[in-house]
Amino acid sequence: MVKYFCNNTDIRSTWDHVVSAFWQRYPNPFRRLLTKTNRLPRWAERLFPTGMSRLVYIIEDSIVDPVNRSLTTYTWNLNHTTLMSVEERCIFQDSVEQPAATKLKREAWISSNVYGFSRPIQEFGLARFKSNQVKAMKGLDYALSNLQGETPQRLLRDTVKDASEKAKEAAKSLASAATVPKKPQQYV
């Protein structure tokens, strides 16, 4: 049984800007480290056998179609998949309704194979994914604002200030953050 999530949103920038900013969304003051801001509830902590690495390796693949103006990204975790597997697909395309805007369709598939606990784990994963939605966009918004040189529409001054304190701490442990760097695949 897999938990499915789907959300459509509009980004107030052109597709060209969004796709260019996409590669530049890290570092940003909103990036979150699993260990820092995503604390697990106690019952979930117990599901990790002692000695098991807490590092999660996440890979992101992407396809840019410049003719049809579509960016598809696929992100999933490489390890701890029995515990929880999260796959996310994002499709960025020109917005049909709004000129100079981009529509984003985000989907996620969350599953767990822990005997007897898969249901609560999946529910937890889905709830966590939903609550992280807003944060997930902030990194991209940040990169867009840097590219376009204007104040980002969705950022509050207070949030930026608070987040940059966390970012200083986070930067120290960033070397061990297990994100595999992008390998752009260009399909012509």
> In the complex, which residues of this chain contact other proteins (CB under 8 A)?
2, 4, 6, 16, 19-20, 23-24, 26-27, 57, 59, 61, 63-64, 66, 74, 76, 78-79, 87, 89, 107, 109, 174-175, 178-181, 183-186, 188
Q: At what angle do helices 15-22 and 118-148 cross, to 10 degrees?
A: 110
The minimum distance between CB 165 and other proteins, in angstroms, equals 18
Contact indicator for 86, 110 with CB cutoff of 8 Å: yes
Nearer to other proteins, 46 or 180 (CB): 180
Nearer to other proteins, 65 or 165 (CB): 65
The DSSP 8-state label assigned to residue 30 in this structure reads: T
The minimum distance between CB 66 and other proteins, in angstroms, equals 6
Spatial distance between the Cα atoms of 79 and 75, rounded to a whole number of angstroms: 13
Spatial distance between the Cα atoms of 153 and 135, rounded to a whole number of angstroms: 14
The minimum distance between CB 116 and other proteins, in angstroms, equals 22
Nearer to other proteins, 55 or 134 (CB): 55
The minimum distance between CB 174 and other proteins, in angstroms, equals 5
The candidate with the shortest Cα–Cα distance to 18, out of 78, 103, 117, is 103
- Cβ contacts of 93-101, under 8 Å, gap ≥ 24: 93/15, 93/69, 94/14, 94/15, 94/69, 95/10, 97/10, 98/10, 98/12, 100/12, 100/13, 100/14, 101/10, 101/11, 101/12, 101/13, 101/14
The minimum distance between CB 46 and other proteins, in angstroms, equals 24
Nearer to other proteins, 49 or 184 (CB): 184
The minimum distance between CB 102 and other proteins, in angstroms, equals 13
Nearer to other proteins, 43 or 48 (CB): 48
Nearer to other proteins, 87 or 155 (CB): 87
Return the structure tokens found at 71.
């960016």
Spatial distance between the Cα atoms of 175 and 159, rounded to a whole number of angstroms: 24
